[in-house]
Chains A and B, each alone.
Chain A
Amino acid sequence: MIQVEGLTKYYGEHAAIRELAFTIGQGEVIGFLGLNGAGKSTTLKILGCVLLPTAGRVVIDGHDVVNNPHEVRQRIGYLPDVPPLYEEMTVGEYLAYVAQLRGVTARDTTARVGEAEEKTGLREVDGELISTLSHGFRQRVGVAQALVHKPALLILDEPTSGLDPRQIVEMRDVIRGLKGTHTVLVSSHILPEISQTCDRLLIIHKGTLVAQGTEEELGTKMGGGGSIEVEVRGDRARAVEVLKAFGAVDVGRVADGVVALTVRASPDQRPRVAQAVVGAGLELLRLDQGAGQLESIFLRLTHGQEVRA
């Protein structure tokens, strides 16, 4: 569905992205991860035909975005980081306008708008002015405009940005519901959202693609993901020595004789870690599953070298 080769974009002297290369198959839901300013939005703008690349090639469904943008645009639905909404229109009017702009005939428009509203839970606000909608609904209208013409490829830039936890769950359900009918490329820096929604991940850092694959594949490549957080009362050196048997140990806060440590080990190891700590005569105050596997991978890829005990 998407082939990207050597994709580079300069803003003046600054390279926003450099030599990106990846492919995305038909029907995949891909998570595009990166810190703010990593180059996610620039990449998605190029895929959405909003920007032209400085170098490299992007082919979507057999059409080049530089040489044949008109063909590409007929196949994509794009939600920018700020939903492109006309405040003075009602939701229904806006979606009908976008549908016709993207080639839906006047006869089919009502049905397509209805379908898009159904998928994104907008039925109840069809007649409401966009200016009166809450942030969550505005974001949904943004997603609805991207899919109203049933494009083969959906490009969603930070669809959950600024949403409250409940709205994030609802938006995640919306994106999950698109699986099977669309190829979806969704960018975010909210890891659980990506982890729970996407088949495969692309991780970008400082304009360069630093990893790609499923969460499991990335975990294996990175030498296993996951961590265990431990808080003990006792000797710091002794605690580190005991825990080193399970994996690399990061020593965190030390106060009033309490040491907080993070062990790079599978959360499955927690019972054995507990036994080892207690067996070593240390007082175990807390034992918990650490940051998720994806979070761990992401932090390692984007933070460089970690301080290890």
Chain B
Amino acid sequence: MKALLIARRELAGYLRTLSGYVVIAVILGLNGLFFNAYALGGASKRSAEVLSQFFYYSSGFTIVASVFISMRLLAEERQTGTLPLLYSSPLRDRDIVLGKFLAGLTFLGLYVLCTLYMPLLVMVHGKVSFGHVAAGYLGLLLLGSASLAVGTFGSALARNQLLAAITSAVLLVALILCWLLARITEQPLSDVFSAMSLWNQHFPPFQSGLVHVRDVVYYLVVTYVALFAATRVLEARRWR
């Protein structure tokens, strides 16, 4: 499958350049700092509460990581002039987008995997259920997947990586702030905004160790729609 070929090259690109490691190191460092200062610090808490707070902070850092990881996906190809190579090869545009996304998701997965030491510390010193950890990580991966897909769309739109990061950040903040719109509008509009909210409506259950099908479906739908839109952007570029 050509998408896997693209994903393999893209992933090797992340692993061979310093920028990928820098992104992971900085965000891991900040995540660790927040975990130590806020999740572990303060008044004594139950282990489940510490874990819940860990997932709370990690969700934010996962969104930030996905912006930085996704910004290079398509914008870099455009910036360095390698997009014609993909366009002139016997590939579907969806293979290009899917390959890029899979590489980004694997790299993001690597970052999420690196955060495992924090819940393990909680497990060693306290008592938490494996289900809570698994649900939280499933939530992080789904949230990361949706954010990365939005980032891929932003990267398809932008001329360079900086613009890609800004576009993705704006789109993600807009999706996150849908919960505020839900508060100031009336039904049925408030229900729509509430359902669209990237974090407020859909992540807290994972944070508490609960997996709802509607939340899983939401993140998968956002991922699909954003990747579909990125594919359409690539198609549209051929007409310009």
Closest residue on chain A to residue B236 by CB atoms:
A52
Closest residue on chain A to residue B86 by CB atoms:
A101
**A49 is an interface residue with CB less than 8 A from chain B:** yes
**A190 is an interface residue with CB less than 8 A from chain B:** no
- Do B5 and A88 touch (CB < 8 A)? no
Using known A-B contacts A51-B238, A100-B5, determine if residue A84 contacts B83 with beta carbons closer than 8 Å. Answer: yes
Chain A positions within 8 Å of B16 at CB level? 88
Which residues of chain A (93-122) have a CB below 8 Å from chain B?
97-98, 100-103
Which residues of chain B (65-105) have a CB below 8 Å from chain A?
80-92
Of the listed residues B2, B13, B90, B240, the one surrounded by the most CB atoms of chain A closer than 10 A to its CB is: B90
- Do B90 and A70 touch (CB < 8 A)? yes
- Do B13 and A78 touch (CB < 8 A)? no
**B17 is an interface residue with CB less than 8 A from chain A:** yes
| Alpha-carbon distance between A88 and B5 when the two chains are bound, in angstroms | 16
- Do B82 and A50 touch (CB < 8 A)? no
Chain B positions within 8 Å of A73 at CB level? 88-91
- Do B85 and A145 touch (CB < 8 A)? yes
Chain A positions within 8 Å of B87 at CB level? 48-50
Whole-angstrom distance from the CB of B215 to the nearest CB of chain A? 37
Chain B positions within 8 Å of A309 at CB level? none
Chain B positions within 8 Å of A103 at CB level? 90
**A80 is an interface residue with CB less than 8 A from chain B:** yes
- Do B81 and A80 touch (CB < 8 A)? yes
**A22 is an interface residue with CB less than 8 A from chain B:** no
Whole-angstrom distance from the CB of A279 to the nearest CB of chain B? 60
**B117 is an interface residue with CB less than 8 A from chain A:** no
| Alpha-carbon distance between A156 and B86 when the two chains are bound, in angstroms | 16
**A76 is an interface residue with CB less than 8 A from chain B:** yes
Give the residue of B6, B17, B90, B91 whose beta carbon is less than 8 angstroms from that of A88. Answer: B17
- Do A78 and B81 touch (CB < 8 A)? no
**B9 is an interface residue with CB less than 8 A from chain A:** yes
Whole-angstrom distance from the CB of A168 to the nearest CB of chain B? 22
- Do A86 and B13 touch (CB < 8 A)? yes
Closest residue on chain B to residue A100 by CB atoms:
B5
- Do B240 and A84 touch (CB < 8 A)? no
Closest residue on chain B to residue A101 by CB atoms:
B89
Chain B positions within 8 Å of A86 at CB level? 9, 13, 82
- Do B238 and A88 touch (CB < 8 A)? no
**A85 is an interface residue with CB less than 8 A from chain B:** yes
Give the residue of A48, A87, A101 whose beta carbon is less than 8 angstroms from that of B84. Answer: A48
**A15 is an interface residue with CB less than 8 A from chain B:** no
Closest residue on chain B to residue A48 by CB atoms:
B88
Give the residue of A76, A82, A97 whose beta carbon is less than 8 angstroms from that of B88. Answer: A76
Using known A-B contacts A11-B240, A100-B5, determine if residue A49 contacts B88 with beta carbons closer than 8 Å. Answer: yes
- Do B17 and A50 touch (CB < 8 A)? no
- Do A50 and B239 touch (CB < 8 A)? no
Closest residue on chain A to residue B77 by CB atoms:
A84
- Do A97 and B84 touch (CB < 8 A)? no
Per-residue CB contact flags for chain A residues 179-221 toward chain B (1 = under 8 Å, else 0) read 0000000000000000000000000000000000000000000
Using known A-B contacts A73-B90, A88-B17, determine if residue A97 contacts B9 with beta carbons closer than 8 Å. Answer: yes
Give the residue of A50, A51, A74, A101 whose beta carbon is less than 8 angstroms from that of B5. Answer: A101
| Alpha-carbon distance between A244 and B6 when the two chains are bound, in angstroms | 65
Per-residue CB contact flags for chain B residues 1-44 toward chain A (1 = under 8 Å, else 0) read 01001100100110011000000000000000000000000000
| Alpha-carbon distance between A97 and B238 when the two chains are bound, in angstroms | 23
| Alpha-carbon distance between A145 and B83 when the two chains are bound, in angstroms | 14
Chain A positions within 8 Å of B13 at CB level? 86, 88
| Alpha-carbon distance between A102 and B90 when the two chains are bound, in angstroms | 6
Give the residue of B6, B82, B239 whose beta carbon is less than 8 angstroms from that of A52. Answer: B239
**A45 is an interface residue with CB less than 8 A from chain B:** yes
Per-residue CB contact flags for chain A residues 40-57 toward chain B (1 = under 8 Å, else 0) read 000001001111100000
Of the listed residues B17, B84, B88, B240, the one surrounded by the most CB atoms of chain A closer than 10 A to its CB is: B88
Chain A positions within 8 Å of B81 at CB level? 80, 82-84
- Do A50 and B88 touch (CB < 8 A)? yes
Closest residue on chain B to residue A54 by CB atoms:
B239
Whole-angstrom distance from the CB of B81 to the nearest CB of chain A? 4
Listed A/B pairs (7) with beta-carbon separation below 8 Å = A48-B84, A74-B90, A76-B88, A84-B84, A84-B85, A97-B9, A103-B90
Taking A49-B238, A50-B87, A84-B82 as given, write out 5 further A-B residue pairs in contact, using a Cβ cutoff of 8 Å, ordered by the A residue number.
Answer: A73-B88, A84-B85, A97-B5, A98-B85, A103-B90
- Please list the residues of chain A having a beta carbon within 8 angstroms of any beta carbon in chain B: 11, 45, 48-52, 70, 73-74, 76, 78, 80, 82-89, 97-98, 100-103, 145
